[in-house]
Chains A and B, each alone.
Chain A
Amino acid sequence: MESMADVAAPLATANQIAKYEAVIGLEVHVQLGTKTKIFCACPNQFGDAPNTNVCPVCLGMPGALPVLNRQAVEYAIQAALALNCEVRRKSVFARKNYFYPDLPKGYQISQYDQPLAEHGWVEVEVEGQPPKRIGITRIHMEDDAGKNIHEGFKDSDRYSYVDLNRTGSPLVEIVSEPEMRSSDEAFAYLSELKLALQFAGVSSCDMEKGHLRCDANVSVRPRGQAEFGTKVEIKNLNSFRFLKQAIDFEISRQVGVAESGGKIVQETRLYDPVLGETLGMRSKEEAHDYRYFPEPDLVPLLISDEWLARVKSAMPEMPALRRKRFAADYGLRPYDAAVLTGSRALADFYDEAAKTSGDPRLTANWTIGDLQGLLKGAGKEIEDSPVSAARLGELVAMVANGELTGKLAKDVLAKMFETGESAVSIVEREGLKAISDTGVLEKIAAQVVEANPKQAEQYRSGKTSVIQFFVGQVMKATRGQANPAAATEALKKLLG
């Protein structure tokens, strides 16, 4: 539904937008990867037959009482630590009251004035700009609602269908400070947040399955103005692309309204990916009075020093730190460091392979290039790689110390991928070991030079690039086994 604010104001031009600054904050809901729901023992599972993972608690039956899931708390603490938050030793659950068919209790159990964690931050980097910290206001725990299905049934014109399997799934809501200034920053923030939570292992963060949902608060103000403009909440941002598109559209819409003398209305808008526009929702303002009060059925959540210390000590290295370490300790280029921290499994794999090989940069090339290529071809993830990290490290070590030529190593890796064998046993069996023996190479070089007098003459008369031809000939004669550096040296000695 179009609201009053949409009337007639044209979208802003680039020149008009340049006069304004956008102020963006994100509210991100993340479904925690527990086996069971937050307040009952129903499976926390996606894709089952409707209304089968339900019980009196999540159906909101009278008299049913919630009992908090310890693992959900632990994941929430891990999420808080992954995002540099302070965990409150005491947090309190509260009821957020509203009526909707996907919410059988008539209220959501959330946290209000005493959330689990506060004062966090995420460092983001947008290309061409220095790194920037985006503050995280708070993280609180809450239960998810069910699913309303409005279409697809023959009486869908008259009825909505309700599946309550998701009701009671454990969520954390992560609220950022309004510190982003562009859709690129919002994109970078959400990417880094997702990566950190995946590294912490608290959620798969699969946006397609709704494990990660994002709402954006967007306002604009003339550059230089201190106070914020009127903010608009955009919902339905269920992909990174939509997040960026919706924010860009909204900035342009708001500047357009302001520039044509209109007033931006505080409202909630839905992003329509087909139109590429945000649309005002028909809503009554009074719908936002949630009448929060402390949840009488749950005691406050107390987290002991010991518990917090235990969780803290088990936290894995976060992606931002890992990127920095890969660059500093392993000498990787920022791009390679970013690729290799694209998932925790990949980062762990690379780390182990690099340690085994002793040549981190060469290992990075083999991991990103050849191995990822083979995995992609086989439709496999790094977790299912038939070549273990240690085995890849062994192969790279053989290349690094000249035992195996790069060219043959590619074939060996392909065989390793196929059979799961080690590089050493394939190389031994097939006799692929590089020939570095000077005596042997000199003999072959001599034969090659003798067989190609014309090229030898060219080399001697100054056309030194012909050396590549001779190296190629030596390679051919040795079925690719000659150590290229040693072969080049032998040839130069003969020709020089």
Chain B
Amino acid sequence: MKITEQEVRYVAALANLELSEPETARMAHELDEILTYMDKLNELDTGGVEPMAQVLFPAGETATLREDEPGATLSNQAALANAPLSGAGQFKVPKIIER
């Protein structure tokens, strides 16, 4: 196994997910399969290839920058439209205890 159930529980906690015992076991199994597939990819020699997270064009400067000009905003009403709870123009969430 490339991943333990303990690691699954840790990652789930970081992602605010609550997994039951059977779910934890299933996740461990599925993640294990994914990581095994990564091993397959690792068979390729990528020693001379720069790691790439996004598609890049050969350019001296990022071409997709935005000019600093204000644009349209949402109304307060629209901004809060999907909020489960709101009041005084703000989102309301269960009381946060400062960490």
A residues near B (Cβ < 8 Å) are 34-36, 40-43, 49-56, 59, 67-73, 92, 97, 99-101, 148-150, 153, 155-164, 270, 281-283, 286-287, 289, 291, 293-296, 298-307
Contact = CB atoms under 8 A, between A and B. Distances in A.
A68 B95 contact: no
B54 A160 contact: no
Interface in B46-67: 53-56, 59-62, 64-67
Contact of A69 (B66, B89, B96): B66
Contact of B71 (A34, A36, A164, A289): A36
Given A35-B69, A50-B90, 20 more contacts: A36-B69, A36-B71, A52-B73, A52-B75, A54-B79, A59-B74, A71-B68, A153-B87, A155-B87, A160-B92, A160-B95, A161-B88, A163-B91, A282-B99, A283-B99, A286-B14, A294-B54, A295-B53, A299-B54, A303-B61
Contacts of B74: 54-56, 59
Nearest to A104: B91
- Grouping DSSP codes into helix (H, G, I), strand (E, B) and loop, the A interface class, with mixed when no group exceeds half, is loop
A42 B66 CA distance: 12
Given A54-B74, A298-B54, A68 B93 contact: no
B65 A161 contact: no
A252 to B, nearest CB: 24
A92 B13 contact: no
Nearest to A54: B79
A159 B97 CA distance: 10
B92 A162 contact: yes
A153 B88 contact: yes
A51 B76 contact: yes
A293 B51 CA distance: 12
B99 to A, nearest CB: 5
B1 interface: no
B80 interface: yes
A455 B12 CA distance: 98
B73 A101 contact: no
B52 to A, nearest CB: 9
B28 to A, nearest CB: 18
Contact of A148 (B13, B87, B96): B96
A302 B99 CA distance: 37
A160 B98 CA distance: 11
Nearest to B78: A54
A34 B94 contact: no
A49 B79 CA distance: 13
Contact of A300 (B62, B67, B79, B80): B62
Contact of A299 (B14, B62, B95): B62
Given A68-B62, A289-B14, A298-B54, A162 B68 contact: no
Contacts of B67: 70-71
B90 A296 contact: no
A289 B10 CA distance: 10
Taking each of B10, B62, B64, B92, which has the highest tally of chain A beta carbons within 10 Å of its own beta carbon?
Answer: B62
A92 B99 CA distance: 29
Contacts of A158: 94-95
A155 B94 CA distance: 10
Q: What are the nearest 7 A-B pairs in CB distance?
A: A41-B71, A294-B53, A71-B68, A304-B60, A70-B65, A162-B91, A161-B90
A164 B80 CA distance: 11
A164 B91 contact: yes
A162 B16 contact: no
B22 interface: no
Contact of B85 (A35, A43, A159, A164): A159
B6 to A, nearest CB: 12
B72 interface: yes
Contacts of A163: 89-91
Contacts of A295: 53
Contacts of A307: 61
B95 A302 contact: no
Nearest to B67: A70
B93 A162 contact: yes
Contact of A34 (B68, B90, B95, B99): B68
B91 A42 contact: no
Contacts of A49: 76, 89
Contacts of A51: 76, 79-80, 89-91
A291 B73 CA distance: 31
B91 A101 contact: yes
A36 B70 CA distance: 6
14 contacts: A36-B70, A43-B70, A43-B73, A52-B79, A101-B96, A150-B96, A161-B90, A161-B92, A162-B90, A162-B93, A291-B14, A300-B54, A300-B62, A305-B60
